[in-house]
Amino acid sequence: MLLPYAPWLCWLIPIIGTAVTPLVGAIRRKFSSYLAVLSIGMSALFSFSMIPDIYFGTAQPDLTIPWISNSIIQVGVYIDPLSVLMASVITCIGFLVTVFSVAYMQEEPSLARFWFLIQLFIGGYVVIVMADNLLFMFIGWEIVGICCTGLAAFWYKDPKKAHIGLKTFLVLHVADVLLLVSILIIYAYSHTLNIMELSQNNNWMGELSRSGLLFITALMFFGGAVGKAAQFPLQEWLPDALAASPSSFNALTECLAGPFLIARVLPIFHEASLMGYSDMVNFFLVMTFVGALTAVISALIAMVQANIFKVLSYCISSVIGYMMAAFGLAGLMADMSWGYLAGTFLLTVDAFLSALLFLTAAYISYAVGSDNLHHMGGFKSRIAHRSMEVGALALGGIPPLSGFWCTNWIQTIAWDFAGEAGMKGQFMLMISGYVIFALLIIGAGITAFYALRMMGLVFRKESYGSEEKVIRRPPSLMRISLAATLVITAFLDFLALLLIPSFNKFLLPLLGTLTFSNIVDVLMYIVPSISTVLTCVAVAVGGYPAYQLYVAHRVNPVKLIEEHRFLGKAYGFLWKRCYINTLYHKVADGTNAFSNIAHKHLERSIDRLNYGVAGLFRRLSRVMYKYPELRGIDALNYFLAHFVTSFTRRFRKTHTGVLSYNMLTAFVGVIILIVLLLLFGGVIP
Amino acid sequence: MLAIILPIISAIFIYVFGKYAERYVGWIATAAASLSVCMILSMVTDVIEKRLIHDTYAWIPSINLKLGFMVDMVSFPIALIVAVVSALSCFYSIKYMENKRGQTGYYANLLLFMAGMIGVMLSANLIQFYLFWELMLIPSYFLIASWGVSKKRLTIGFKYFIFTHIGALFMLMGILSIYVFTGTFDFAELPRVSADIPSTSILTVFVLLLIGFCVKMAIFPVHTWLPDAHAEAPTPISAMLSGVMIKCGAYAFARILLSGFGQTVLQTSDTLAILGVVTMIYGGLMALAQTDIKRLLAYSSISQMGYIFFGLGVYSTIGATGALFHVVNHAVCKSLLFMCAGVIMHQTGTRNIRRLGGLADKMPITCAASLIGALSLAGTPPLNGFWSEWMIFSGGVFSGKILITTIAVVSTAITAGYYLWFLWRAFFGTTPKNLENTRKPSWLMRIPIIVLAVIAVVVGIWPDLVLRLLSAPF
């Protein structure tokens, strides 16, 4: 290992930094910034130091230390190409964002809280990627979720933003609960949480499949990823959370944890599919469709948003849809490596691409003091424009840039899959393959539209509305880190094609087969396909109206919408975000109303029942007191007493005290005794 | 043993001589309670080395009854947390109950209450257990009925008393039938001799005991005393009631039913698990409907008792251990939340959540502590509540109840829902005009909160700290 203990320190350092931040911040506000730069920089350094180990294959894959005695719960790190790659990407972007934020947040009064959350976030994120067992990964997962909430509600004084924090937490929590259940079920069947052991010993899948739980367990696992990755139908937390949180943070793209999670467990699930558990085919189909649908729906909504951060968050959601589709296709096909490679490559490139776009957006919004796309015109800055060009053109799928290759690659896989299924005679799968292919192509067209629209609106010469706009000059630290991000992203973007073979080589331990040994293979696979043609058509169809509307300004979009009723309706529908958000609120309100009703009727009636029982006893006691007690037993007592006294009173009259009477009664008594003796002969019966 | 007797003696002492030192009575009581904590802590090495502490003294030889105290891996952590929470509540009361009348009586009752609870945990036989069970009821009744906050306190205190007492009588019947069948009251002999109980009547005995414990734990549908009592009591007492008193039921379940009636628990475990889940969801839904801070927390306690009941009811080692761990964690977090609620009520003068807002910058420590408490109970790692809930639910899946466990896990979303709603309304958003002059709470109230929040975080990061002292009773 290049640096000692790197797999541990890369996540431990930011977490220690988190713990120290409140103290350091209390000494001096600015120190917390320096601490954050230091801790995240160190973390990036340690992450990078693991890359050579992977490349030369000298790393020890799994390190653990026990956490709870007498149980299998451990803290462990898993060192493989995927984890090291992601850790490096995250910490690298994290470092750039940190440097950017030092300047961006310098006037914020609660700076220490910001750094607390950011460091904890990066620590948690690296825990997700480095964890070797599902429970530890889940802990990182939750930490990231909480930090997202905390950052969304960072300016908690604003009731709207505080509410967005609440919503973010709840939506993420619903997904996390699904993930937790599936982890629990896997744990119960396999008796291990370790990812390596899970993949080596897959008897548990057989047992799960026999009990009929395999599909539902896998689906719940995917549900967890859907929430974090902002996929349909749980995507609505992301745009609000990102629009509310301090914008420089957005570049950290927490939602990429979702596709990472899938990439992490995909080999295990794929193995199950190969072993012939037919449930898994359905599962992967669901995954692919969710991905493809999200790619289209999110892109559609992104077309009309005015807030630049909302546009970008729908853009991420849409791109992650492509990744999910790639992973789903990888699972469906006999050879996983095509889809897997495409998904992970897109994941890596998009992490930087999104970071670049978000940092640019933060840079521009800092300068013009608004998040609204329409207010961003008139701001001249060479670096912001270059960044936006690189980002938006790559996103829109303009040929020599990475976006074109990646989407095209995934579409080709979909086409191949449909062909493969057709040859095997699996008619439904073939149809599904073509539908997915069509959805992805449509997605590419829409993406081209909104990417160009965003670029056009940002580049407008004149400002919209307010004439007297103060344009702040961003501090040089922001410019430097933006430039650094631009350089890295441009490198990845332009050389995407060249990088694919070496990327493949890097991931070789994971894939097992070398799919692309050199650039010619890549070109041979991607370019001569129907997908290339259709992608170019779709990009042209999507891009041309956007160019006319927003770049060349030949047509006024507002007028267009007013003139065509259908367009207006579609616009309204998309502006309301397909009413999915409204649906969330309906569900939340419904639960609330239900609990109120239950409280009103059920709870009170139970309480009334209790009081009723108590009242019954009281009434019973009153009746008992009246009848058996007063009129019965007590009356009998009184009656007896009364009887005795009245009897004696009457009897006393015979006691006259005259001697002759006494003698007479004694004489009568003696006679009675004699009669009795004579009758019974001395024997008393 | 000294840990129990000490609070009793000091309670009497305070009651008799308290009027001479009215101003320091709170401090004296806190000192006595902390001393009791130290006494219990001093046994920690024995517990770690798995040495059973079992002291007995002759009491009534004719019925084979001895006075005895027993400390093992079931009772020790719970007794310790009882003592810790009581001592902190006592400390918290110094400021919170500052201007209330009858200080001496209050602290005397508080200490007696504490002694009763610790006595329940450390008793070595059923009769002693029952006596302490009643000993904790009586002072807590007085605490609610005399120092309660509203005019309804007498009614509510009475309701509380009757409910718990009826439960206790069921339990007494169970205890006496055990004696009739086995001829012993001793806990240690219970697992061995429970086979003597004829199989026809074992279920009856089991149900009698269970009813007694359910009432104490406020399991649906015998829970309605709890929201009233906990909302009515003065806040430090609510923290004790909700934080630790209702756990006596859980402890008794583990101690008597799990160790003595294992087979019966196994047979009825489906019913028990369903009862647990119903309580969980029902308590959560009720909490969602509340606008009063303390009632919300009280219903949340019902819901959390559902988790514990579920963990005990599924009858698996990891589930029962998790349930006992959750007893400790819930004690920490719920007392923490009640104390935070007390701070809010004390500083703002309102207990209606809808009238609060934007308090985060007025009382940042309280806000952070409430966040820790609420997130922990909602099962968020790396806080302590996550571990116990994880263990409870893995107990559920390990005993094969996958569907019920799934429902249980999904219901944690309700927990997150009502807690977040409460935090959002109380601490975030804009501050209403009438709360703008809210002052920071006194340090005397903040210290117990900080202590509990630190415990929650430390145990969350290092759960072994408690788990080493804890094991399931079978």
Query: What is the average pLDDT value for chain A, to the nearest integer?
Result: 85
How do residues A177-214 score in pLDDT, each as one tens digit?
999 999 998 888 888 888 888 888 778 888 888 888 88
pLDDT 10s digits, B74-91? 888 888 888 889 888 888
pLDDT of residue A249: 80
- For an interface test with A, give the residue of B228, B394, B399, B425 to mutate (most A CBs within 10 A): B394
Interface probe, candidates A137, A173, A605, chain B, greatest B C-beta count within 10 A: A173
Q: Give the distance from residue A161's alpha carbon to the nearest chain B alpha carbon, in angstroms.
A: 8
Q: Residues near A520 by Cβ (< 8 Å), separated by ≥ 6?
A: none
pLDDT at A466: 53
The per-residue pLDDT for A121 is: 92
The confidence score (pLDDT) of residue A2 equals 64
pLDDT per residue as tens digits for the range A631-655: 777 788 888 888 989 988 888 877 7
Interface mutation target, options A166, A605, A621, chain B, most CBs of B under 10 Å: A166
What percent of chain A stands above pLDDT 70?
98
Closest CA to B447 of B3, B96, B143, B108: B96
How far apart, in whole angstroms, are the C-alpha atoms of residue A593 and residue A600? 10
Please say whether the beta carbons of B394 and B318 come within 8 A: yes
Q: What is the pLDDT of residues A69-81, one digit of tens each?
A: 777 788 888 888 8
Encoding tokens for residue A397? 């799928």
Q: Is the pLDDT of residue A657 over 80?
A: no
> Which of A113, A125, A123 has the alpha carbon at shortest distance from A153?
A113
pLDDT tens for each residue of A483-509: 998 899 888 888 888 888 888 888 887
Question: A451, A396 in Cβ contact below 8 A?
Answer: yes
What is the spatial distance between Cα A333 and Cα A195, in angstroms, rounded to a whole number?
22
Backbone angles phi, psi at A376, to 5 degrees: -95, -10
Q: Which residues of A touch B396 (CB under 8 A)?
A: 184
Amino acid at the residue A679: L
pLDDT at A625: 75
How sure is the predictor about A458, in pLDDT bands with cuts at 50, 70 and 90?
A: confident
What are the residue ranges of helices labelled H in B291-316? 293-313
**Does the beta carbon of A174 lie under 8 angstroms from any beta carbon of chain B?**
yes
pLDDT at A682: 58
Question: What single-letter DSSP state applies at residue A528?
Answer: S
Point out the least confidently predicted range of A133-142, A364-373, B381-390. A364-373
Domain ranges of chain B: 272-474
Quick one: average pLDDT of A148-170? 86
* b/e burial code for range A132-144 (CB count within 10 A of at least 16 → b): bbbbbbbbbbbbb
- The pLDDT value recorded for residue A683 is 62
Residues 598-637 of A with CB under 8 A from B: 598-600, 603, 606-607, 610, 614
Confidence of residue A568 (pLDDT cuts 50, 70, 90): confident
Pick from B159, B397, B430: CB nearest A185:
B397
Convert the pLDDT of each residue in B335-353 to its tens digit: 999 999 988 888 888 888 8
Burial class (CB in 10 A: 0-12, 13-18, 19+), A383: middle
Query: Can you give the pLDDT at residue B308?
Result: 92
Question: In the numeric block, which tokens belong to residue B373?
Answer: 């408490």
The C-alpha of A226 sits at a distance from chain B's nearest C-alpha, in angstroms, of 16
Backbone angles phi, psi at B234, to 5 degrees: -60, 150
Q: What's the pLDDT tens digit per position in B25-57?
A: 778 778 878 877 887 777 777 777 777 777 777
Alpha carbons B294 and B350: distance in angstroms, whole number: 11
What residues of chain A, 116 to 135, have a C-beta less than 8 Å from chain B?
A: 135
Tens-digit pLDDT profile for residues A15-74:
888 888 888 888 888 888 888 889 999 899 888 888 888 777 777 777 788 887 777 788
Find the closest chain A residue to B155 by CA distance.
A611
Q: Nearest CA to CA, how far is B47 from chain A (Å)?
A: 16
A320 in Cβ contact with A296 (< 8 Å): no
Tokens standing for residue A501: 């073979």
Q: Cα-Cα-Cα-Cα dihedral of B442, B444, B448, B453, to 10°? A: 30
What span, in angstroms and rounded, lies between the C-alpha atoms of B224 and B219?
9
Task: Show which of residues 130-189 on chain B sit within 8 Å of chain A, judged by CB atoms.
Answer: 159, 162-163
Interface test with A, best of B222, B380, B401 (most A CBs within 10 A): B380
Among A145, A39, A40, A141, smallest CA distance to A91 is for A40
Residue A103 in this model has a pLDDT that exceeds 90: no
* Segments making up each domain of chain A, as ranges: 1-132, 133-575, 581-653, 658-685
Which chain B positions have a beta carbon within 8 Å of A180's beta carbon? 393, 409
d(CA A107, CA A99): 15
Answer whether residue B300 shows pLDDT above 70. yes
The nearest alpha carbon in chain B to A608 belongs to B224
Select from A271, A207, A170 the least CA-distant residue to A591: A170
Please report which confidence band the pLDDT of residue A465 belongs to, taking 50, 70 and 90 as the band edges. low
- Nearest-CA residue of chain B relative to A605? B224
Which chain B residues are Cβ-neighbours of A135 within 8 angstroms?
390
Residue B16's H or E segment, with its range, is helix B2-17
Q: For residue B277, what pLDDT is reported?
A: 92
Of A68, A138, A169, the CB nearest to B416: A169
B173-178 — which CB contacts under 8 Å span 24+ positions? Answer: B173/B208, B174/B205, B174/B206, B174/B208, B174/B209, B174/B212, B175/B126, B175/B127, B175/B129, B175/B130, B175/B209, B177/B201, B177/B204, B177/B205, B177/B208, B178/B126, B178/B205, B178/B260
Closest Cα of chain B to A584: distance in Å? 13
Question: At A1, is the pLDDT very low, low, confident or very high (cuts 50, 70, 90)?
Answer: low
B226-267 pLDDT per residue, tens? 888 888 888 888 888 888 888 888 998 888 888 888 888 888
- Better-scored residue on pLDDT, A310 or A466: A310
User: Is the confidence at residue B310, as pLDDT, over 90?
Assistant: yes
Residue B195 has pLDDT above 90, yes or no: no
Question: CB pairs below 8 Å between A and B: how many?
Answer: 117
pLDDT tens track for B374-423: 999 988 888 888 999 998 999 998 888 888 888 998 888 888 888 888 88
A67/B464 touch (CB, cutoff 8 Å), yes or no:
yes
Q: What is the pLDDT of residue B301?
A: 92
| B113 confidence band (pLDDT: 50, 70, 90) | confident
Tell me the whole-structure pTM to 2 decimals. 0.86
Mean pLDDT is lowest, of A132-146, A420-434, A451-465, for A451-465
Residue A514 at interface with chain B, using a CB cutoff of 8 Å = no
Overall average pLDDT of the B431-441 stretch: 77
Q: Give the closest of B221, B386, B428 to A153, CB-based.
A: B428
For residue A424, the distance in angstroms to the closest alpha carbon of chain B comes to 37
- Local confidence band at B11 (pLDDT 50, 70, 90 cut-offs): low
Q: Which residues 213-272 of B are in CB contact (within 8 Å) with A?
A: 221, 224
Q: What is the mean pLDDT of residues A582-588?
A: 84
Q: d(Cα B302, Cα B298) in Å, to the nearest integer?
A: 7
**What's the gap between Cα B323 and its chain centre?**
12
